[in-house]
A = this chain, B = another copy of it.
C-alpha cells in the first residue's frame, strides 16, 4: 500500500509515538489483506458479511468500553467527550450499521442470532480488562486503534493506486470512514489522549503503553483475519 497518505496522527503526539514504537503491529492491522481486498473490490462478499455481523456485536462491547471511560475520566471535558461517543454508538451508529447490513441482505435477526466470534471476544474483553486494571489512559490506548485505525485505513485506501472506487461494492464503507465527519472524530480522540495523558504521566509510561497499543493493534488485525477466514 502507498506510503503517502493524509496522516492525521501528529508524530509528536502520544499516539504518534506509540505508532512509531510498534510499527509492525500497526502495519499488520492497517495494511491487512482484508483491507487490500476491500480496497480493490476483490474481497469475497461472505467475508465482508461475516465482518459486518461481528462488527455489530463488537459495537455493543465498544459502547461498554466508552462507558467505562466516562467512569474513569477525571474531568468533565473528558467525561463529556466519552459520553458523546457512548451515545453516538448506541443511538446512532448501531442503527446506521443495521441499515448498512440490510443493504447487504442481513436482517437484525440474522445478526443478533449470531454468537460473538473468538476474535471479537478476544479484542473487546482485552480492552475492557486493560481499562479496568489500569487508568483512563490505558483504556484509551487499548481503544484507540479501532477508531483512529479505521480513519488511517480509509485515508490510505483513498491515496492508494491499488484502490478501485468505481464499481467497488465496498465503496460506501471506504467513503464513510474517509468522510470529514469520521476523520474529525478520530482527531478528537487523539487530542483527548493528549489531554488525559498530560495529567497522568503519559510520556513517562510509554513502554507499558506501547505493549497495550501493540497488543490491541494485533487483535484488530485478527478481526480482519476472522473476516477472511470466516472464523467463528
Contacts and interface: CB of A to CB of B under 8 A. Distances in A.
A195 interface: no
Given A67-B83, A133-B71, A208 B204 contact: no
Interface stretch (A42-50, A84-92, A157-165, A182-190): A84-92
A129 to B, nearest CB: 5
Nearest to A202: B201
A68 B207 CA distance: 24
Interface string A11-55: 000000000000000000000000000000000000000000000
Contacts of A91: 80, 83
Interface residues of A, number: 43
Contacts of A80: 90-91
Contact of A76 (B86, B90, B138, B199): B90
Nearest to A89: B83
A203 B204 contact: yes
Interface in A108-143: 118, 121-122, 125-126, 128-129, 132-135, 138
Given A86-B83, A87-B83, A204-B203, A64 B60 contact: no
Contacts of A118: 118, 122, 222
A33 to B, nearest CB: 18
A72 interface: yes
Contacts of A147: none
A56 to B, nearest CB: 11
Tally of this chain's copies: 4
Contact of A200 (B84, B129, B208, B219): B208
A229 interface: no
A189 B222 CA distance: 35
A182 to B, nearest CB: 21
Contact of A204 (B67, B82, B84, B201): B201
Nearest to A197: B201
A135 B138 contact: yes
Most buried by B among A64, A67, A74: A67
A79 interface: yes
Interface string A55-72: 000001001100110111
A131 to B, nearest CB: 10
